[in-house]
Amino acid sequence: MAELNEMMGWTFVQEIDVPDSVKELLVTGEEAKAAYKTVRDTAVVTNKRLIISDKQGLTGKKVEIYTIPFSSIHMYSSENAGTFDANAEIQLWTKAGNFKLNLNKKVNIRKLDKLIAEAIL
C-alpha cells in the first residue's frame, strides 16, 4: 500500500478478551494490553502496535490483518463522546496515512488513549 488516499476507519464496540488467534501473531517482547470487538472483527492493542483483524466475504473465512506499528504514528487525537454523540473517536496520523477509530460508549476512551500514549511517548 503506497499511500492511503482516504482515511481508513473501524468502530470498536466493546472490550473483549484477547483472542488466541492474535496471540500467535505476537513477537518476542510484545504483550497484548487490550482487545476490542468491532462490528465483525477484532482489534488488539499491544505494547508495540495495533492489530486489526478484518474478516472478508460472506463466510468470514478470509481474514486480512492490519498492523499499525506505534513507531509509525506521528500524532494522534482523542475526542470523547458528548451528550448527543454516539461515539468517541481517536484519530491516528501515520507514515502510511490517517486512521480513525470510532469507540462505542461502552469502550473506555481514556484507557485506550493511555495505552497509545504509553506506547508512543
Helices (H) and strands (E) in the chain, counts: 2, 8
- Ranking 3-17, 19-33, 69-83, 106-120 by mean pLDDT, the lowest is 3-17
**Residue 21 to residue 53: CA distance in whole angstroms:** 10
**Residue 26 to residue 95: CA distance in whole angstroms:** 22
What are 47-99's pLDDT values in tens digits? 999 999 887 767 667 888 899 999 999 999 999 877 666 789 999 999 889 99
Q: Is 78 exposed, middle or buried (0-12, 13-18, 19+ CB in 10 A)?
A: middle
Predicted TM-score (pTM) of this structure: 0.85
Question: Which long-range contacts does 54-62 make (Cβ < 8 Å, 24+ apart)?
Answer: none
